[in-house]
Amino acid sequence: MSKQMDIIPAIDIIDGKCVRLSQGDYNAKTVYNASPVDMVKRFVDYGFTRIHAVDLDGAKAGHPCNLTTLEKLAEASDDARIEWGGGIKTDNDMRDCVNAGCSYAVIGSVAAKQPELFEKWLGEYGSAMMVLGADLRNGKVAISGWLGDTDLTLDNIVSRFLPFGLSQAIVTDISRDGMLQGPSFDLYIEAQKNYPTVDFTVSGGVSSLTDIEKCKELNLRRVIVGKALYEGRVTLNELEKLC
């Protein structure tokens, strides 16, 4: 029998607007009319309180660029819990995001390139707030808004932080992101099996309700829904019923 699965709607932000990229390509972006604040209110109205938001400007620049937007999102509803990522590189960046109202901080580049700093944040802010962001290109971790590459595998990076309390990770298969071709199910099944104490979030490729139902059947614990939602392939009403 399938366990409860968290569905996390996504908002990608450039210049304070909702956008979606295809395979992380900043030149292949679609800008949507909906404002990020209105989207948060809609998500919460349908019962989705954990909302994944990415500061794409910040990911590219290497420091948070849309903190004013983060503040507005966090204030949009008392029930909204914003999972924020993009360009968090220093202690000051981390403090700024917390002060702006993020409930969860997604850390990618720092975890890959400055692991001691991420270890410190796990201790300082707790595993309930800190989320490892592992974006994979051909099985290796990509960094800096997917503009840079490393030699690290998912196993390398997850096992590194387990002793420091890591309990949640968002894993994105870049080749699937924004392409609406379905998630890399085997990747998540393997990760969840190898690291049962970590809650892995399926990210990238969700194209239909069928994909989300399959995640639930496979007992995957969390799934991010982005482009499929904005393009009407999945509706909030359908997601609400699934939950």
Active site residue ranges: 12, 135
Long-range CB contacts for residues 180-183, cutoff 8 Å, separation at least 24:
180/205, 180/206, 180/207, 180/227, 180/228, 180/231, 180/233, 181/205, 181/207, 182/206, 182/207, 182/211, 183/211, 183/215, 183/223
- For residues 131 and 125, is the Cβ–Cβ distance under 8 A? no
- For residues 105 and 88, is the Cβ–Cβ distance under 8 A? yes
Residue with tokens 């607007």: 17
C-beta neighbour count of 129 within 10 angstroms: 17
Question: Quick one: tokens of 73?
Answer: 């999102």
